[in-house]
Amino acid sequence: MLSSMTIWVAFGIYMCFLLGVAFYVTQKEKKQAAGENLLTASVAWPILVMTYIASLMSTWVFFAGPGAYYRGGLGYWISEMSYIALFPIIAHFTMNKVWMVNQEKGNTFVTPADFYFERFKSPALRTILGIVFLAASFPYISSVLVAIAQAADYATGGAIPYQTAVIVVGLIMTIFVCIGGVKSAATADTIQGLVFIALLWFIVIACLIVGFGGSLTLAVESLWENTQSFFSYPGPSGWVSYASRFGYPFSCAIGWTIMLPHVFVRSGYYGDNLKAQRKLSYMTPALQGLVWTGTMLIGLIGLALVSDMATSESELIIPYMINNFVNAFNPTLAVLMMIGFFVGATAVGLSTANAFLSVASGIVASDLIKNTFHIDVPKNKEMLVNRVIIAVLGLGSLVIALNPPELIFTLIMFSIAIVMPLFPILVFGLYWKKATKQAAVVSTIVGTVLVLMTYFVWNIGDVWYGAIGLIGATVTMVVVSLCTKQDEADSKEFYETLDRATDRFYEIQE
């Protein structure tokens, strides 16, 4: 439908936008004498909220989400809504405390493992966490490259080969993060977040008008007559089993919204004050609900129009509807929608990839090179080393994307699952003084092994995701802590810091 020239022009414009943001933010930081750390940021609440949402949503919005609703039906949407409301509670009792400790330490934390080390004082734990968080980063970054390349391939009818698109998008992502770092990514996300939400709803409304004259009632009635399985478990494709009704929302409530490394640092490190943290807690559920309702409606409309798409094709329901229904209705509208689909997918996808790439480079530089291998990088060489790491990680993700699995959903959910067992360690570290570093290390290993077995031994990863690993890690944390001891001095400073932060940021009524 679109010419290859149109896509390349869109790529070029997007690249110029990203480089412009990177240059602006870098120059602003230099003028303010704030240093040139590519891996840390402190931002006001509007930027915090939008960078969190944009980096969180990723390829869910235009690919995995609509495809999942097409396969899973209304039950999948209910699962989404059930965990969204939990975010303010989880954030209040965990990430706000993480943020306060980071503020007391001078906003110096770069990676999630920095916080865990502050509590447990275990170099071994830092190394293991760094590896786990890094393992979560590669599949997620690759999923973005896969999605955008598929969009370019489909939008041009194959005029732009998939492999070519992967390489170009991967280079755009890597160059941007090398130049601008996390604060540039956060600033760009503010604009990109608004763009992708607007384009999502533009596509929803246009498809509803083309397919059913703008009447959602007619679309629902059509489904009720022809595909009633949309309204019941396990969904049109038998995809939302009873077990997954627990495993999926449980995984997303913890793994997706809190524990993935790029959202961990955003929700725990980036806010410039407590007001920003609270705004993030309050506004995130509303914005998530807005986005997921839009993607659900796309799946609903798509299923009402065509009910026999193969599983591997269901994630391309948006361009399929544009090509097969909108184009016959109005070719000009179809072109505009396909451009909107491509631009929206690129904007939200690269927001996530940039975020992941930034924190992954921090993991390599801080958790592995500096604190595991004890290699001291001269201060004047840190910027160069960080950029080299970013380039290597970006190219690594690009290689994975050249040979992807059948569904983007698979890559995303594995990343979410692998970090879930780290959540109980965070909670026990905050609230239980008897939690030991030995328990944290063993719990991390046990939880990770259980997740890997869930996927590769028991083959139930598409149902339970990381839930079994989280439960195993929780039990292990309690049992091993009761059986071991740790020098109280290791955690004394942490709890004193937390107490000072509580007194500083909260008005305690006697």
CA distance 434 to 436: 6
pLDDT number for residue 153 = 86
Which of 267, 249, 250 lies closest to 258, judged by CA?
Answer: 267
Rounded Cα–Cα distance for residues 444 and 7 (Å): 44
Q: Mutual orientation of helices 331-362 and 4-31 as an angle, nearest 10°?
A: 40
- 411, 382 Cβ separation under 8 angstroms: no
Determine the Cα–Cα distance for residues 460 and 70; give it in Å rounded to an integer: 21
Q: 425, 470 in Cβ contact below 8 A?
A: no
Residue indicated by tokens 């939302």: 240
Q: Model pTM?
A: 0.89
Q: Using an 8 Å Cβ cutoff, are 465 and 249 in contact?
A: no
| Residue 509, pLDDT score | 44
User: Could you give the CA distance from residue 326 to residue 438 in angstroms, rounded to a whole number?
Assistant: 59
What's the rounded Cα separation, in Å, for the pair 47 and 189?
8
What is the mean pLDDT, run by run of 10 residues, along the chain of 510 residues?
84 77 69 54 86 82 87 87 90 96 93 96 96 90 85 86 88 76 68 86 95 96 92 82 78 91 93 93 94 94 90 86 94 91 82 82 91 88 84 86 72 90 97 96 98 93 91 98 92 94 75
DSSP state of 315: G
pLDDT (0 to 100) of residue 247:
81
Single out the residue of 73, 81, 325 nearest to residue 224, CA to CA: 73
- What per-residue confidence (pLDDT) applies to 300? 95
For tokens 């955008």, what's the residue?
148
Distance CA 269, CA 191 (A): 21
* Residue 39: per-residue pLDDT: 55
Assigned token pair, 98? 């993480």
Domains of the chain: 4-29+38-419 (1.20.1730.10)
Closest Cα partner for 256 from 99, 433, 94, 136? Answer: 136
End-to-end CA distance of the chain: give it in Å, rounded: 67
